[in-house]
Amino acid sequence: MAESSTCEQEYAIEVNHVTMVFNMASAKLNNLKEYFIALAHHELFFKEFKALKDVSFKVPKGSVVGLVGTNGSGKSTMLKIIAGVLEATEGECIVRGNIAPLIELGAGFDKELTARENIYLNGALLGYTKQFIDEHLDEIVDFAELENFMDMPLKNYSSGMVARIAFAIATVTEPDILIVDETLSVGDVFFQEKCMKRIRSFIDSGKVTVLFVSHNIKQVEDLCDTAVWIEKGVKRMEGPVSEVCEAYRNQFNKKK
C-alpha cells in the first residue's frame, strides 16, 4: 500500500504496455451500399493496423513532457487514449487529476447551436457545472475575443473562431493535466501568442502537468523538460528533452 501511495504522489500519467489496434477494411468501399453488399456476401475482410505497440512511460506530476515522432507514428492516438477518447486494445493508462485536452479543438460542438449554447454544451462535456460556466462566461468570451458573435450559429463561424472558443473553455480554469496536440493554430499570430502565454502560465505555476505534441522540435525543446519519442507505434527513446530531440534529428541526417 505504501508503494502504491508513493506512486500516486509521483505520477500524473502512467502508460503501461499500451497497444492500439485498428481494424481497416482490406478493400476500398465508396459508400454504405457497397459496405452492406460486401457484408451480406461475406466478402468484407479487415486487416489489423497497430497504431501503438507495447508503449510504456510515466509522466511525473508538475512536469512538462514532449511527445515527438514523424507523421503517423501514433502520437495523437496516444494522446486520445490518455484523454479517454479512445480505449487501448491492450495495456492500461492511469490518469490522476482532471484533464484539459487541447485535441482537435471544437470537436463535439453542435454547428446548429449558437456559440453561447456551445460554451455550455462543451463545458458540460468537460465536467463543468452550469453555475461554473455562468460565473466564468464573461472570462471565456473575453479571452476568445468574440463578444459580438456569441448569439450567431456556429455554422457561420470560421474554423479559427471555433478553435478560439474551444481553447478558452478548456483553459478557463487551471487543470491538473494539460494535453496540447500540435502547434496551436487558433486564429492570427497574436492570438496564438496569447494562447502560448496562458500555457506558459500553467507551466510556470509548477502545479500543472503538461503533455505537449508538436512537429516543431525547437518548440518542444523550449517548453519541455523531458521527451518521449514514438516512431511507427514503438517507443524509441525517453529521457532529457535535449538528448531525445538530438536523436530524433539524427535519424533525418542519416538518411541524407
Question: Over the stretch 72-88, which tens digit does the pLDDT of each residue have?
Answer: 889 989 999 998 889 99
User: Where do the structural domains in the chain lie, given as residue ranges?
Assistant: 2-21+51-255
The residue to which cell 466564468 is assigned: 136
The residue to which cell 511527445 is assigned: 67
Do the Cβ atoms of 24 and 49 come closer than 8 Å? yes
> What would the CATH number be for the domain defined by 2-21+51-255?
3.40.50.300
pTM of the shown model: 0.79
Question: Over the stretch 15-69, which tens digit does the pLDDT of each residue have?
Answer: 999 999 987 655 565 666 665 665 666 655 557 788 999 999 999 999 999 999 9
∠ CA 187-165-223, nearest 5°, is 65
- Residue 120 CB: number of other CB atoms within 10 A? 16
